[in-house]
Structure 1
Amino acid sequence: MHIKVKPMGDYQTNCYIVSVGGKDFIIDPGMGATQWVMQNVTNPVAILNTHGHFDHVWSNAELQEKLKIPLYTPKADVMLLQESSWMPDLPPSKPDVEVEANQEFDFDGVKVKFLHFPGHTPGCSMIEIGDAIFSGDFIFERSIGRTDFPYSEPKEMRESLRRFKEIPYDKTIYPGHGGTTTIKQEQQYSDYWIANL
């Protein structure tokens, strides 16, 4: 597996290109991501959204059109792709696949699983591909996603953190903002966040 990352836009939202098994997966193409993605893919097969916030989905539609590949978005966040109260000029996009909670896909032997951890948004998910987990805005290095946005829910975030704390394995986490971390490293902070939400 080879992972390329570039922070995009004013919010420095990480766009990832994950190359595995001869296939390229584009995760969270934010503002201005199209040119970089086009220059760095050889066999793109899917665009994957961790959640629906504008800074993670801005280039969805443009890449769908240019690459002719399907867009996968958590079902509970699809409504966020059509409009943004923060960014009225968000280019609307429509997923080809509305992903159910904890749904797994098999791309000719490459397994991609959406792990549903709502709270930051209703559909907020981590995407698991091999030994890597792309956490979007659920978990960051020593931090978690905000719960004071429209459609955020602190109670759901607490429950998600409780479930995150019980994950029995360790993998590298690639967040939506900032640098990498690991499941085990962030699990040790879970109780703090649960108590302070």
Structure 2
Amino acid sequence: MKINVQAMGDYQTNCYIVSVDGKDFIIDPGVGATSWVEQNVKNPVAILNTHGHFDHVWSNDELQKRLNIPLYTPRDDVKMLKDSSWMPALPPSTPDIEVKPDEEFDFDGIKVKFHHFPGHSEGSSMIEIEDAMFSGDFIFERSIGRTDFPYSSPKDMKASLQKFKKFDFDKTLYPGHGGTTTIKQEQAYADYWIQNL
């Protein structure tokens, strides 16, 4: 597996291209991601959203059309792809697949699982592909996603952190902003965040 990353837009949102067995998965194509993605994919098969915030989904529609590939978005965040009341210039997009909580997909033997961790948004998910976990804005290095946005919930975030603590394996985490970390490293801080939300 090869992982290519580029921070996009004013919020430096990480867009990832994950290449496995000759297939390219595009995760969270943010503001201005289209040209970089087109230059770095050979066989794109899907666009995957960790959640619906504008800085993670901005280039969804453009890439869907230009690459002719399906878009997978967590079901509970689909409404945010069209609701531009808080970001008027957001190009609307429509997912081909509305992902159910904790749903797993099989792309010719490549397993892609959406682990549902609401709190930052209702549909917020971490996407697991082989030895990598793309954590969106749920978990960052020594930090967690904000819970003061529309559709955010401190109560849901606490429950999600409790669920996250139960992972009995370790993988590298690739967050929506900033550098990489690991499941085990961030589990060590989970109780702190639960107590301070």
Q: Under TM normalisation by the shorter chain, which class is it?
A: over 0.9
Distance (Å, rounded) in 2 between the aligned partners of 1:86 and 1:183: 32
Q: Does 1:9 align with 2:9?
A: yes
The match for 1:163 is 163
Distance (Å, rounded) in 2 between the aligned partners of 1:166 and 1:106: 24
Note the C-alpha offset of 1:21: 1.1
Amino acid at match of 2:15: C
Note the C-alpha offset of 1:18: 0.1
Note the C-alpha offset of 1:50: 0.1
What CA deviation, in whole Å up to 9, does each residue of 1:166-188 have, x standing for no partner? 10000000000000000000000
Note the C-alpha offset of 1:86: 3.0
4+ long deviations beyond 6 Å: none
Note the C-alpha offset of 1:85: 3.3
How many residues are paired up? Answer: 197
What CA deviation, in whole Å up to 9, does each residue of 1:97-155 have, x standing for no partner? 00000000000010000000000000000000000000000000000000000000000
Amino acid at match of 1:160: S
The match for 1:34 is 34
For 2:76, what is the secondary structure of its paired residue? helix
Amino acid at match of 1:44: P
What CA deviation, in whole Å up to 9, does each residue of 1:49-99 have, x standing for no partner? 000000000000000000000000000000000023331010000000000
Q: Give TM-score scaled by structure 2 length.
A: 0.99
Please, what is the CA RMSD of the aligned residues? 0.5
Q: Give TM-score scaled by structure 1 length.
A: 0.99
Q: Does 1:152 align with 2:157?
A: no
Q: Does 1:87 align with 2:123?
A: no
Structure 2 unmatched ranges of 5 or more: none
The match for 1:21 is 21
Matches within 5 A, 1:104-119: 104-119=104-119
